[in-house]
Structure 1
Amino acid sequence: MRLIKLHEVMSSTGLARSTIYKYLEEGCFPKSVSLGARAVAWVESEVQEWILSKIEERDEQS
């Protein structure tokens, strides 16, 4: 299991920081893991699963 920081999440998803946090508030993005007082990361496999779900949604709409 690998944890990735925000900049890598942004690079993988193509989303801006504000959009990631908006999706978190809406409950439609994987939750972050607290690493300390001011540091968070995401489980890489959960972010990849989220990306795959977006691809599946796209394919179902076609």
Structure 2
Amino acid sequence: MSSIPANNWALHSYPTDGSRTYPPDTMLRLNQVCEITGKKKSSLYKAIADGEFPEPKKIGKRAVAWSANVVFQWVAERPSAR
């Protein structure tokens, strides 16, 4: 768990991994997004190209990340999540 203080109501946790929680303003890297969404890297980037998944934000010259809010919202909107 992160040392960043946050209210419990604001934390996101992924159901299959109860040991990890993410404050809503956390930036998730590719491997974390793949783990949370269940998609492989190639499938994730295809979904981005098709407009089915949010684009990442640049966080450096050669680094990108996604907002935890955006990723968890996408997961929650999937039909299988209901």
Matched residue type, 1:24? I
- Corresponding position of 1:31: 55
Deviation, structure 1 residue 28: 0.9
Larger Rg over CA atoms: 2
Normalising by structure 1, we get a TM-score of: 0.85
Unaligned runs of 5+ in 1: none
2:73 aligned residue (30, 34, 49):
49
Normalising by structure 2, we get a TM-score of: 0.65
- Corresponding position of 1:14: 38
Runs of 4 or more off by more than 4 Å in structure 1?
none
Q: Kindly, what percent of the aligned residue pairs are identical? A: 32
